Structure 1
Amino acid sequence: MITWEARPAHGLLETAPPKPLPLPRSTASIGGDLRTLYAAGALDLPQPGTGGLVGRWAALAAIGRIDLTLARLAEGHTDAVAILGEAGLTPVPGALYGVWAAKSGGTGAVLEDGRLGGTVRFCSGLSLLDRALVAAGDRLVDVDLTDPGVQRHPDTWQAVGMDASDSGDVVFDGILVSADTLIGPPDWYIGRPGFALGGGGVAAVWLGGAAGVFDGVVAYLRETGRADDHQLAHLGAMHAALRSAETLLLHAAGTIEQAADPWHVASTCRAGVEHAVREILDHAPRLTGASPLGRDRRFAQRLADLGVYVRQHHAERDLAALGRQVLDAGESV
């Protein structure tokens, strides 16, 4: 069981790796683990804007270190609860939430004549969740996923990484939207202060996933009982990348709520953590060689999961946007 009563004194990551989930995992088993966390209160995290971001992000990193598919769903639920709280609303008791806002390849939800339509890709938890906050144009809609107008297409998710995240396309077929299911005014969702804070929370999950890969590398070296200088160099590089990302997240957690431009802080943080994750993904298989990639399902799955999940960062597009922020701000650092 995951509990957050005792967080690390200095940092976001615990010193010792957590107990992993049993294998094989499945959508059903991840759903059961998510319900267990929810029932135990382990998803009741400090709300953004209350000064508790270190504890919030430490919890998200801890779940990511255990399993990234579980963390993907946990982060989505906690983000939805934070969004509702920022709007002055209360979640439906007992409901697990997601946030479905992707606009990929010309798809996306639309709101016309009081009805929700369109296709949203990359909807995680499409069969496991009870409700979802769906971005439709400039509005955010709280959708009851038992509505017959919610059409799920899990077969569209073909990834090996994040395979148990219960993801896929969702088609909304003329769902009636009432005033009490609209969250905030037009353009509120991406314009609110909490949008940047939520982006930092995703980076915390990436950090946890990277730490899980690092745990696997250390376990491999200890099991083999030997490490040559080349392997030690890779291990040192991974350690430096992981601690650099953790330090960046800690700095962001302590400053972003008071920052004049919180999205600049979040963008910088996400870019730095993404860079560290790519370092981990590069060094880990070069250190271990082929054996654990072919013979250790947990290690291979961690690498595959992390490679898919970190692509929530849009690579050069996000870096270009960050560069534009820096140039427009007239700052040299």
Structure 2
Amino acid sequence: MNRTSASPRPRAVRISSAPEDLAGLNPLLVDALSAVGDVPALLDLAKAAGDAAPKPGEGRTAFLWELLASVTAVDVAAGRAIEPHLDASAILAQAAGHAALAGWDCPDFDGVHFDGAWGVFAAEAAGLRLEAKPADGCFLLQGSKPWCSLAAQLDHAVVTAHLDDGGRAAFAVDLHAPGVGFADPEWTSRGLREIPSGTVHFDSVPAVPLGDAGWYYRRPGFAWGGMGVAACWLGGAVAVARGFQDSLLKAADGGREPDQLALAHLGEIDRTLTALTAYLARTAARIDAGDLSGPGTWSEALRVRGNTATAVERIQTLVSQNLGPGPLAFDPVYGKRMADLALYIRQHHGMRDDAQLGALTLKGDHPW
């Protein structure tokens, strides 16, 4: 009897939710599978997910992360397209009531239109600078912002910009407004080919402030959003692990049982993913309980991201060594997944992030 599943139906990634709750993700995952490679369809999916997804810290953080992980397990680029829209939705919700910078008479936060697809552009790069200039009590964005994924296909974005006093603040901006220009990203990557990230130029573009100077980075949601990205990485790793298990079962059905090395590596992958999902479950519960909303929140985000990134890279290495060059050369789904995930995981800064965590640990910010 064939021990592999003949059905291509995608499966949810469980962190802690009950099976009946995870079953509610099935329609979204089926839609994600049909939208692979189709960016407009993926952005429509992001908008639909944004209408239904819980916000972090509101009692269902684990389910939010399961949604992100499950979509990414279907296709890494799909998760990469959906995650920023959900993050922007959370940022806008967190900013309600903190919209106007003290002393500046900008448009009311209620005037921001939430329709359409959103991105979050907070990266910096040498030689590029985006500034927010006061003008008639409001702000105009001037300059350039790097690493703006899918910018030309989005409607709005949350962007960070430098203020005259040296601080930085977040702003909501209409990407269809006059003065917004999109540079050709010249995207040559084999990973995340449908999610190009390029530079956006702003020439006196009106923007609505979200919170006061530094609010974007001070809020606990900054760390929570970083953990949400890690949930996407987890989903990619689960997909790689499931594919490896399926390949071993298929080989066994053909008469070639897995050797001890393959079984040992599958066992290590199981240990790694089981420990990681348990860690995320505990962290999500702490967020919902209010335990991760003050000092120590960013340290926990660095731990979550670092542990997840390490696990992803280890799983990719084990599977790649076991399966060899064949699937990389001839299996388009496997090859795409491995290339997409390898690029996505580079949002983690490796030892530089560990150095940041070490500095916080040296000051006593640790649980041990």
Category of TM-score, reference length = shorter chain: 0.7 to 0.9
Pairing partner for 2:188 from 158, 163, 170? 158
RMSD: 2.8
Residue 199 in 1 paired to residue 226 in 2? yes
Pairing partner for 1:258 from 278, 291, 300? 291
Determine the structure 2 residue equivalent to 1:302.
337
Task: Summarize the Cα distance change of 1:77–1:148 in structure 2 as closer, same or farther, 3 Å threshold.
Answer: same
Residue 300 of structure 1 deviates from its aligned partner by 0.9
The correspondence of residues 120-159 of structure 1 with structure 2, limited to 5 A, is: 120-137=145-162, 138-159=168-189
Give distance in 2, aligned partners of 1:300 and 1:219.
Answer: 15
Determine the structure 2 residue equivalent to 1:74.
82
The correspondence of residues 42-61 of structure 1 with structure 2, limited to 5 A, is: 44-61=52-69
Task: Summarize the Cα distance change of 1:272–1:142 in structure 2 as closer, same or farther, 3 Å threshold.
Answer: same
Residue 195 of structure 1 deviates from its aligned partner by 0.9
Q: Structure 1: any 5+ residue segments left out of the alignment?
A: none
Task: Summarize the Cα distance change of 1:232–1:2 in structure 2 as closer, same or farther, 3 Å threshold.
Answer: closer
Q: Is the 8 A contact 1:127 1:166 kept in 2?
A: no
Give the TM-score of the pair, scaled to structure 1: 0.88
Quote the sequence identity (%): 33
Cα deviation 1:263-319 (Å, max 9, x = unaligned): 121111111111111111211110101111101011011111111111111111100
Find the structure with the greater CA-based Rg: 2
Q: Is the 8 A contact 1:69 1:305 kept in 2?
A: yes
Residue 83 in 1 paired to residue 83 in 2? no
Task: Summarize the Cα distance change of 1:185–1:332 in structure 2 as closer, same or farther, 3 Å threshold.
Answer: closer
Aligned length: 323
Task: Summarize the Cα distance change of 1:2–1:52 in structure 2 as closer, same or farther, 3 Å threshold.
Answer: farther
Residue 262 of structure 1 deviates from its aligned partner by 1.4
Give distance in 2, aligned partners of 1:241 and 1:75.
Answer: 24
Task: Summarize the Cα distance change of 1:96–1:149 in structure 2 as closer, same or farther, 3 Å threshold.
Answer: same
Q: Is the 8 A contact 1:123 1:170 kept in 2?
A: yes
DSSP 3-state at the match of 1:258: coil
Pairing partner for 1:315 from 332, 338, 350? 350
Give the TM-score of the pair, scaled to structure 2: 0.80
DSSP 3-state at the match of 2:160: strand
Pairing partner for 1:234 from 258, 265, 272? 265
Give distance in 1, aligned partners of 2:277 and 2:51.
Answer: 21
Determine the structure 2 residue equivalent to 1:119.
144
Task: Compare 215-224 and 140-149 and name the one that shifted more.
Answer: 215-224
Give distance in 2, aligned partners of 1:83 and 1:44.
Answer: 16
Give distance in 1, aligned partners of 2:329 and 2:57.
Answer: 44
